[in-house]
Structure 1
Amino acid sequence: MSYVRDPWLPDRLLRTERDALMPLLRRTPEASFQSRTACPGWTARQVLAHCGAALVRIVEGRLEEGVFLPEANAADVAERESWPLGRILDELERGFSEAGPVIAETADGTLDAVALGEWVHAGDVREAFGEPGAYCGAASLELALPLLSVTSRERETPRLVAALEDRPSPVVLGNELPDRPPARYTGDAATLIRLYSGRPLVRTRYELWGATEQELLIYR
């Protein structure tokens, strides 16, 4: 099934998340940034350092081969270990503000998944801080779900029809496969995001038929 990419969807998601997340980060005590996140080995501070570095690389066109591989991400985080927290937050805010138009100009949409990943990482930080709304902010979710639909197709996951408890209409993800009926999911939107992004599923409730959790991963 064909689909039409909205090139400005990542920009809208990034700016919406900027407006919601940055005030929270600016008022949070610095000690809280040492909290561990769902990303193995990374604190909230390190996750945010990675996010800012990735977005500013896009803004500045520093996208050499292998730039978003784990080794390169770790190097970006290590480079920022000596930075004061304010500088890390300033870089992140710049990235949220300026990366979207560059992503929109990428004709093949290969950077769309980065914008979605930034939003997921914001959920990682909210969860580490004990804040509500991880992976399900009301305003941003309306943008994240369509972007997940696009990214799940680009990452060649199988077709899945998600009946979400908190939305009136089903969400269709992934690609149709020969001789394989669509998988089905019932549960809430935040858990669906966790499934596709490989986040912990402890204390979640959902039902999944016709696909495995591993098949749905968009970040490996």
Structure 2
Amino acid sequence: MTAAETHDVRDPELPGKLLAAERDALLPLLRGRPEEDFAVRSCCPGWTVRHVVAHCSTVLARVVEKRYEDGVFGPAVNARDIAERDGWSTADILDELERGMTGAGPVIAAAGGALDGVGLGEWVHAGDVRDAWGEPGAYAGPHAGLALDLLARITRERGFVALHADLDDVDEPLLLGAPSGERPPARYLGGTATLVRLFAGRPLTATRYELAGAAEAELNLYG
């Protein structure tokens, strides 16, 4: 079985594995920072670190509680859910986040793929926090392999342009997107963190990479 074929086979446990691994790394970092650090602006327009964390906790709470009546995503729902936590202490938000990162995995696994992007999105937002605080490992780190496997499968399922990525910090090349006989795969040379920034629509300031055969906008999962 080729690497591309492997990513066609859904591992229902993968998003939960990524969430659990990130929980164990992120929560100690969050709980160890002073309150004022949560007021630092993030790369997400209009959001501080506290807003990012509150968004992550609310999405996971909705997943765990299966509250989909008005959607899990979307600017209006996000803004309302974050506003509802304005009166919460940071500790309470972090408790909710930890519960969600622990309990969402089985719900996502049982959803047949419809919620797999939540696991990847939470990992990306953890990178947003690290990026805002100047912490190492933003959009990369020890759990990047799980995230890249999930990214590869999601981009194939969504029919994204095929991209052959030669990562300078990963031994094996990675094929993302959906190969097509009508268009040869684009090529990427660079690091994992920059590749994730491209697909997540994050700022590329001070990054260095090569991209041929595709435009940056074609790679944005959230564009």
The answer to whether the superposition gives a TM-score over 0.5 is yes
d(CA) in 1 for partners of 2:75 and 2:90? 22
Name 1:42's counterpart in structure 2. 47
Distance 2:144 2:159 in 1: 22
Query: Which residue of 186, 195, 198 corresponds with 1:195?
Result: 198
**DSSP 3-state at the match of 1:14:** helix
- Is 1:97 the equivalent of 2:75? no
Tell me if 1:56 matches 2:61: yes
Partner of 1:129: 133
Moved over 3 A (4+): none
2:28 alignment counterpart: 23
How many residue pairs match? The answer is 218
Deviation, 1:219, is 1.4
Unaligned runs of 5+ in 2: none
Report the equivalent of 1:118. Answer: 122
The answer to whether the 8 Å contact 1:113/1:151 transfers is yes
Aligned 8 A contact 1:157 1:217 in 2: no
**SS in structure 1 opposite 2:60?**
helix
Tell me the C-alpha RMSD between the 2 structures.
Answer: 1.1
SS at 1:13's partner residue? helix
How big is each residue's C-alpha offset from its partner over 1:125-156, in whole Å with a ceiling of 9 and x where there is no partner? 01111111101111x11110100101112332
Amino acid at match of 1:218: L
SS of the residue corresponding to residue 184 of structure 2 reads coil
Does 2:152 correspond to 1:171?
no
SS at match of 1:81: coil
Q: Distance in 2 between matches of 1:149 and 1:200?
A: 21
Amino acid aligned to 2:178: N
* Superposition TM-score, scaled by structure 2 size: 0.95
Shift in Å, 1:65: 4.5
Q: Which residue of 1 aligns with 2:74?
A: 69
After alignment, is 75-84 or 61-70 more displaced?
Answer: 61-70
**Does the Cα contact within 8 Å between 1:151 and 1:218 map onto a contact in 2?**
no
Q: Which residue in 2 is equivalent to 1:158?
A: 161
Identity of aligned residues (%): 58
Residue aligned with 2:156, SS: helix
Residues 33 and 43 in structure 1, CA contact (< 8 A), matched pair in contact too: yes
* Partner secondary structure for residue 211 of structure 2: strand
Q: Give CA-to-partner distance per residue, 1:16-70, whole Å, 9 cap, x none.
A: 0000000000010110000000100000000000000000100000012433111
Partner Cα separation in structure 2 for residue 170 and residue 56 of structure 1: 36
Secondary structure of the residue that 1:37 maps to in structure 2? Answer: coil
Matches of 1:17 and 1:76, distance apart in 2:
22
**In structure 2, what is the Cα distance between the partners aligned to 1:155 and 1:83?**
37
